């Protein structure tokens, strides 16, 4: 893939953030965006990187009506040596294409998906923060671009990549959050789109998310769509329970997003000698385990949230407090290990990181 890079003039570049500790999550975007159209006749064509700006659309553009859209989320990390690491980007490429297939959208060659990310990060290198805990969030996404109101898969699409320097996802940082267990609403059901990373899943989650915040919780812990009985995942992360020496997480059942951090945590846990279980976990087992003390830690795992310790669950108007609302030892160890690999401070024995070349590409 030959990417055309539109040169930006010095005066067009935004001032860089001044305090990386105040970035928050995706409040600020870098100077450029990657754009590539798709049509049935030409396939993917004319990839280019240009100044970040509005994408003109007819009001009838299909994505605005029927939400035919998919996205990914990954991060670039600055090491102490000044290098830039991507974390398992090929997994995002694969998941993007699985989401595309589920949403009746065209796939993108993995090498093109990876090249779009690498070229964007190379050009926007100055935006990768040097502070540990901060990183550059990468958001590749695809939208249906046909202008029609017929309900059918579009024949034209747009693939884009935008970037945002970020700090912690939750205001709490690496401190335990509270989760609200919704037994009223569900996010996804068997046969639905839960395992695809598609915008509609997130739209469907907003109402329960509002209730969670009204109850003083950061996010919703979703239960299954059939019985409202089995734990699935959290709004932007997968969930793990420590039962003694076992690390338990809900099995991928079609309605849960197959998280890349989840996969990494399972691999690290096995490497640490822990027993891991991927299986159905009922909310009664979890709440019962918290009450009897057999559940000693809960944490979430995701790209945006990294490892996020959970201090309490609110279920049916009752609070279940885990580990005295303190960060548990495994949550801390997992966070340190993952962070260490991502920032190049620990040996990357699993070959999870990819270095981004730092030479500036030619702009034309």
- Judged by the rule CB under 6 A, the positions of this chain that interact with ligand COI are 73, 236, 302-304
In the complex with ligand COI, the residue whose CB is nearer, 29 or 243, is 29
CA 364, CA 362: separation in Å to the nearest integer?
A: 6
Selected binder of ligand PLP within 68, 249, 261, 331 (CB under 6 A): 261
Least distance in angstroms from the C-beta of 310 to ligand PLP: 14
Let me know: does 84 contact 128? Beta carbons within 8 Å. yes
> Does 128 sit near ligand PLP (CB under 6 A)?
no
Neighbour count for residue 22 (Cβ, 10 Å): 10
Binders of ligand PLP in range 298-317 (CB under 6 A):
302-303
Q: For ligand PLP, what does the binding mask look like between residues 70 and 89, x meaning CB under 6 A?
A: ---x----------------
- Backbone φ and ψ for 99, nearest 5 degrees, come out as -60, -40
Give the one entry of ligand COI, ligand PLP, none that residue 260 binds, where binding means its C-beta sits below a cut-off of 5 to 8 angstroms depending on kind. ligand PLP
- Could you give the residue ranges of the DSSP H alpha helices within 33-109? 63-66, 89-102
> Does 218 sit near ligand PLP (CB under 6 A)?
no
Identify the CA nearest to 299 among candidates 268, 265, 267. Answer: 265
In the complex with ligand PLP, the residue whose CB is nearer, 129 or 209, is 209
Neighbour count for residue 301 (Cβ, 10 Å): 27
Number of residue whose CB is nearest ligand COI: 73
Let me know: does 154 contact 146? Beta carbons within 8 Å. yes
Binders of ligand PLP in range 141-170 (CB under 6 A):
none
In the complex with ligand COI, the residue whose CB is nearer, 1 or 160, is 160
CA 269, CA 286: separation in Å to the nearest integer?
A: 20
Give the one entry of ligand COI, ligand PLP, none that residue 340 binds, where binding means its C-beta sits below a cut-off of 5 to 8 angstroms depending on kind. none
CA 137, CA 147: separation in Å to the nearest integer?
A: 31
In the complex with ligand COI, the residue whose CB is nearer, 300 or 328, is 300
- Tokens standing for residue 6: 């539109």
Let me know: does 182 contact 208? Beta carbons within 8 Å. yes
Least distance in angstroms from the C-beta of 32 to ligand PLP: 23
């Amino acid at each position: 893939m030959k990417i055309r890079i539109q040169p930006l003039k010095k005066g067009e570049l935004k001032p860089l953030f001044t305090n990386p500790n105040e970035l928050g999550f995706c409040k600020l975007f870098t100077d450029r965006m990657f754009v590539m159209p798709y049509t049935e006749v030409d396939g993917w064509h004319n990839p280019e990187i240009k100044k970040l700006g509005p994408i003109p659309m007819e009001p009838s553009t299909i994505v605005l009506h029927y939400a035919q859209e998919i996205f990914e989320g990954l991060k670039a990390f600055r090491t102490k040596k000044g290098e830039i690491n991507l974390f398992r980007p090929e997994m995002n490429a694969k998941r993007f294409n699985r989401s595309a297939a589920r949403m009746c959208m065209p796939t993108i060659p993995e090498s093109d998906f990876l090249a779009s990310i690498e070229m964007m990060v190379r050009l926007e290198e100055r935006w990768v923060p040097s502070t540990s805990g901060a990183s550059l969030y990468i958001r590749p996404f695809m939208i249906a671009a046909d202008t029609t109101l017929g309900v059918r898969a579009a024949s034209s699409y747009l693939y884009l990549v935008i970037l945002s320097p970020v700090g912690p996802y939750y205001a709490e940082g690496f401190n335990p959050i509270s989760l609200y267990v919704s037994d009223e609403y569900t996010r996804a059901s068997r046969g639905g789109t839960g395992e695809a990373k598609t915008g509609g899943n997130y739209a469907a989650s907003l109402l329960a998310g509002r209730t969670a915040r009204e109850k003083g919780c950061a996010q919703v812990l979703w239960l299954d769509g059939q019985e409202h009985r089995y734990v699935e995942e959290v709004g932007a992360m997968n969930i793990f329970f420590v039962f003694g020496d076992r690390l338990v997480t809900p099995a991928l059942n079609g309605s849960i997003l197959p998280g890349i951090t989840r996969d990494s945590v399972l691999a690290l846990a096995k490497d640490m000698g822990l027993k891991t279980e991927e299986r159905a976990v009922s909310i009664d087992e979890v709440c019962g385990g918290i009450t009897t003390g057999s559940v000693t830690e809960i944490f979430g795992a995701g790209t945006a949230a990294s490892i996020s310790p959970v201090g309490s669950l609110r279920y049916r108007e009752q609070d279940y407090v885990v580990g005295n609302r303190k960060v548990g030892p495994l949550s801390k160890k997992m966070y340190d290990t993952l962070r260490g690999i991502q920032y190049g401070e620990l040996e990357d024995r699993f070959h999870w990181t990819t270095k981004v070349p730092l030479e500036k590409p030619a702009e034309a």
